[in-house]
Homo-oligomer: A and B are copies of this chain.
Amino acid sequence: MKSDKKISTAVIQRLPRYYRYLGDLLDKDITRISSKELATRMGITASQIRQDLNNFGSFGQQGYGYNVALLYHEIRHILGLDKSYAMVLIGAGNFGQALVNYRGFAKRGYSFIALFDSSSDVIGKEIGGMSVMDTTLLPDFLSQNHVDIAVIALPGQAVGQFIDILAKSDVKGVWNFSGSDLTVPSNLTVENVRLADSLMTLSYKISKDEIIQRVTDA
């Protein structure tokens, strides 16, 4: 096991995809798969797959392929999905409400245990069986309850004050939908979600034929 090797962000970001594809294979009772077959299904190269998975140990056997169940459970463990995570929502607007109502998270062990908002329009509202609390109650809540992840679904300018509160708590992760990349103290880990980046990637793809034309003309 290459325990002291630093695993690149790109590899880590591909693991959830491996996890999903392997889960699909298990659903179809497929018990082993070659890196080549897996590569074809995932649209990446077999060599990429072998490189990626080598970071975590030796899962494949020459001429046999990967043991699907073993690899699935190992990636599940690596991703920390064999544990459950308690989450609080900060910002219970439309977007936050959609996150609470999305069942795919609970299925993977991520559960919202409390919802907070600063607006009197939303405080007290029932969402997913919980009543939205005033954000002034957040510090007390965090000191009295175990929370792993804070989900921030507020516009960027309102976020700073909550990062200060989270940094003083036992919360470990911040899932950030504020639209601005957050810088957090070292006791917090942030995952910035940039929906606009994904939309720009789509624009690029749909406008690329025209660009290739332009570049060829230049």
Interface flag for A211 (CB, 8 Å): yes
What's the nearest-Cβ distance from chain B to residue A124, in Å? 18
Chain B residues lying within 8 Å of A125, measured Cβ to Cβ, are none
Cα–Cα distance between A172 and B208 once the two chains are bound (Å): 12
Copies held by the complex: 2
A-B residue pairs, 3 tightest by C-beta: A80-B207, A95-B98, A16-B197
Cα–Cα distance between A16 and B193 once the two chains are bound (Å): 13
Question: Which A168-216 residues sit within 8 Å CB-CB of chain B?
Answer: 172-173, 175, 179, 189, 191, 193-207, 211-212, 215-216
- Chain A, 68-100, contact with B by CB distance < 8 Å: what is the 0/1 string? 000000000111110101000000011101110
Contact B204 A198 (CB under 8 A): no
Chain B residues lying within 8 Å of A20, measured Cβ to Cβ, are 197
Contact B198 A193 (CB under 8 A): yes
Chain B residues lying within 8 Å of A15, measured Cβ to Cβ, are 200-201, 204
Chain B, Cβ-Cβ closest to A205:
B189
Interface flag for A59 (CB, 8 Å): no
Known: A105-B199, A110-B199, A179-B104. A206 touches B189 (CB 8 A): yes
Q: Pick the residue among B1, B198, B207 that contacts A218 (CB under 8 A).
A: B1
Q: A15-B200, A78-B211, A105-B196 known; 12 other A-B pairs, CB under 8 Å?
A: A13-B201, A19-B200, A80-B203, A80-B206, A81-B203, A83-B203, A85-B203, A94-B94, A94-B98, A173-B206, A175-B199, A193-B198
What's the nearest-Cβ distance from chain B to residue A39, in Å? 15
Interface flag for A10 (CB, 8 Å): yes
